Structure 1
Amino acid sequence: MTTSATRSMYPQDVAFAALEEIRDSAARTLPRDVLDFLEGGAGRETTLRANLAAFERRVIRPRPMSGVSTPDTTTTFLGVPLAVPLLTAPFGGDALFHPDGHLAVARANELCGTASIVPEAGTYSYEQLAKTAPAAARFAQLHPFDHFEQGAERVRAAGYTALCVTVDCPTAGFRVRNRVNRFNPDLTFFGGNLLDVGTPDVAEMFERLFRHDAPTWDWARLAEATRRCGMPWIAKGVLTAEAAGRAVEAGASAVVVSNHGGRQLDPAPASLDALPEVVRAVAGRVPVALDSGVRSGSDVFLALALGADVVVIGRLAAYGLAAGGEEGVRRTIELLTEELRTLMVLAGVADLRGFDPSLVAVR
């Protein structure tokens, strides 16, 4: 019989009690150069720091005595049901962090009722991910390169809901930590989708990116290519009203406000700072997601209050993967969800429709 003397205020039999424990475990597990690859940014890492500072500058303005006790976090994104408004980002080279890579990420999403954006430059193919976790592997990343339509056809055949087109990577970012470390990973960890006839091999792809020799694309070419593909698509990497407007005009079904976690253009606007501008620009025509700088459930809350429909986690998911594979990612999502729901009760937000900018102030 459990008595008040034997009960615990907090769960005792858990591998990870907080996101900080997961990050610390990942840092102990990963080689130094791989941890720098995960945590580093481009240039002087101004954007990386700005992403975190943008969340730190903001506070939640509560609505006390609102009668909220059991908040509802369910939603849909492009028709995909979500138990909580979270997606995992398409970070590449996933087997650097754990042998199961995005297979583990997708399985964790499926257990949690959330969804994966499957990477193009990942260890495992679109088809493998769709077979492993069909309820979670709903979105597939593509870069606008010459084999775009070939990749889109594979994504469609594998049963995905939408493409996620990364629009902010015409070349690789100038990542100083990787250069200082002489980072030289096994490129097969990035090549799960570059095995078909007609696609460049992974070494050729990276060589093009680093020598500024990737194929040239613009919004008109992207609009035509996606029109021929006949699938809904998401524009990932939007930071301004102008870019958001061009994406919607080109046919995007959603946009992701993102600076690639500070790994591409530096200095660039913090994603959270850019979010209100993008939300105003799309004016409800398409849903808006946000990534870059999200490290806690309170960050998720702030992004939702400032207009995001869903929030995308990259480094947090990678930390979970490195710390414990599928279980680590699952625990990451659970902790984010628990904190978000706690804050919704404390702030008086009954469901996702209750989020609005009046909940946020700047320090």
Structure 2
Amino acid sequence: MTSSHEGLAPQVRLRTLGEIERAGLWSLDRVITEYLQGGSGSELTVRRNRSAFDRIRFVPRVMSGLPHPSTATSLLGVDLRIPVMTAPFGSDGYFHPEGHRAVARANERFGICGVVPEAGTFSAEQLATAAPKGAAFGQLHPMGTEANFRSMVQRYVDAGYRGLVLTLDCPTPGWREHFLLNEFRVDKRVVSGNYPPDAEIDMEQALARLNPATQPAWTWDKLSELLADYPLPWLAKGILTAEDAVAALDAGAAGVIVSNHGGRQLDGVRSTIEALEPIAAAARGRGAIVLDSGIRRGSDVVKAVALGADAVLIGRLSAYGIAAAGEDGAYQVLELLRREIETVLILLGRGDITDLDRSSVEWES
């Protein structure tokens, strides 16, 4: 179920994010590596998510006299030491036995929070107990039966979560050819934390719950009506157009997550950093804006904030961290991001991460 190696000893100091990625991948079986790194179709969107960042140039201001910039911000009332949250990547037990428990503990130690997966190795309650400040948002898929959806929302409320993330771009799994080539089947143990086989909902029902084939498709109106009964703010994840961002906010979302699922769903869509600006313009003043997909460096975080994001999500980076060295590896990912963000801010001549704006960057022609 897990890696072919046990990762690096916690005391090993990984010096760069690239080194963490290489160490994490070294610890994993080939099939799991392809599962983690792969995307859908020809993986054009996976590549585009990265190449688009390379087309953004910084516009520095020298002689600013700002040697100690602030990297802190907040999102929906949750304080963040840097504008980063961890993404709700499922099947986390493949990358380390402690999975999102290690991620949540690292988040809490460092001073950020994360989104926990609905289909992961551990339950919402287990993750909240492990690190309540590090696991502040709970993921749901708006599909299947209303009863199961309401039950999961109530569990997040009862466990003390601060908000919800509704993943909207998974009405069916993406066309992932590495699954076909490897004859890959997800191990039930890494997706059943919230729906264990001995629960009232058995495993087959739990997995079917995430497949809407036997249920009518959900609508914004239905989502709005169901969530109005609960006190938690929610973010709409999977938004790639200004029109959908407005629709989400009209339905009651507290913000949107600009995401193409890391290139793992519909191949051939625009990169999220390209989609960010028009979405930010449409949503400005109405809700939080988070960027997901493609973040690999602290400089990427700075570019995203300059183009309108309040924060970003990291998924693969966090998975590399726990694969390399468990909780300590996940913590080192965050610390390296912080140090690079701070360096970029100093060189840009910006004294606070929240001071960034469109004048800080420019697109190549």
Counterpart-to-counterpart distance in 2, 1:167 and 1:191: 20
Of 96, 102, 105, the residue aligned with 2:103 is: 105
Aligned-residue offset at 1:200:
4.7
In terms of mean alpha carbon deviation, does 244-253 or 132-141 score higher? 132-141
Q: CA deviation at 1:206?
A: 4.2
Cα deviation for residue 358 of structure 1 reads 1.3
Q: Which residue of 2 aligns with 1:134?
A: 132
Cα distance change, pair 350–199 in 1 and its aligned pair in 2 (3 A): farther
Whole-angstrom CA distance in 1 between matches of 2:26 and 2:253: 40
* Alignment-derived partner of residue 258 in structure 1: 259
Query: CA deviation digits over 1:281-301, x for unaligned, max 9?
Result: 112210100010001011111
Change (3 A) 1:45 1:224: same
Structure-2 residue corresponding to 1:329? 330
Task: State the Cα deviation string for residues 163-201 of structure 1 (Å, max 9, x = none).
Answer: 111111111111111221111232121010113998754
Q: Name 2:94's counterpart in structure 1.
A: 96
**1:230 and 2:231 are equivalent in the alignment:** yes
**What's 1:239 paired with?**
240
The corresponding residue for 1:183 is 184
Flag the 1:239–1:251 CA change in 2: closer, same or farther, 3 A: same
**Maintained 8 Å contact 2:345/2:353:** no
Residue 286 of structure 2: aligned partner: 285
Q: CA deviation at 1:230?
A: 3.1
Assess, with a 3 A threshold, how the Cα gap between structure 1 residues 202 and 264 changes in structure 2: closer, same or farther. Answer: farther
Q: Partners in 2 of 1:320 and 1:215 — Cα distance?
A: 39
Structure 2, unmatched stretches of 5+, are 1-10
Q: Deviations over 1:109-140 (max 9, x none)?
A: 00110101011011001101111101111100
Work out the percentage of aligned pairs sharing the same amino acid. Answer: 46
> Residues 44 and 218 from structure 1, CA distance in 2 versus in 1: closer, same or farther, beyond 3 angstroms?
same
The one-letter amino acid paired with 1:116 is G
CA distance in 1, matches of 2:355, 2:196: 46
Using structure 1 for the length normalisation, give the TM-score.
0.93
- C-alpha contact (below 8 Å) 1:191/1:201 kept by paired residues: no
Deviations 1:185-230 (A, max 9, x none): 3212101011399875444454576794465111111111111223
Q: 1:108 to 1:223 in 2, by over 3 A?
A: same
CA-to-partner distance for each residue in 1:259-280, whole Å, 9 max, x for gaps?
0000111111100000001101
2:120 paired residue number? 122
CA gap 1:212/1:44 in 2 versus in 1, 3 angstroms = farther
Kindly provide the amino acid, as one letter, of the partner of residue 17 in structure 1: R
Partner of 2:35: 37
Q: TM-score, normalised by structure 2?
A: 0.92
Partner of 2:5: none
SS at match of 2:139: strand
RMSD: 1.7
Structure 1 stretches (4+) deviating beyond 3 angstroms?
195-215
Q: Is the 8 A contact 2:73 2:354 kept in 1?
A: no
Q: Deviations over 1:67-119 (max 9, x none)?
A: 11001011111001111111000000101000000000000000110101011
CA contact (8 A) 1:109 1:116 kept: yes
Aligned with residue 18 of structure 1, among 2, 16, 19: 16
Are the equivalent residues in 2 in contact too, given 1:75–1:83 (CA < 8 A)? yes
**For residues 80 and 196 of structure 1, what CA distance do their matches in structure 2 show?**
34
* Equivalent AA in structure 1 for residue 117 of structure 2: P
Question: After alignment, is 222-231 or 133-142 more displaced?
Answer: 222-231
Q: How far is the alpha carbon of 1:350 from its aligned partner?
A: 0.7
The residue number in structure 1 matching 2:44 is 46
Q: Give the whole-Å Cα distance in 2 for the aligned partners of 1:72 and 1:134.
A: 25
Structure 2 letter corresponding to 1:352? I
Map of 2:352 onto structure 1: 351
Task: Verify: 1:59 aligned to 2:57, yes or no.
Answer: yes
Give the letter aligned to residue 51 of structure 2.
A
Answer yes or no: is 1:341 the counterpart of 2:364. Answer: no
The residue number in structure 2 matching 1:4 is none
* Alignment partners' CA distance in 2, 1:196 and 1:220: 33
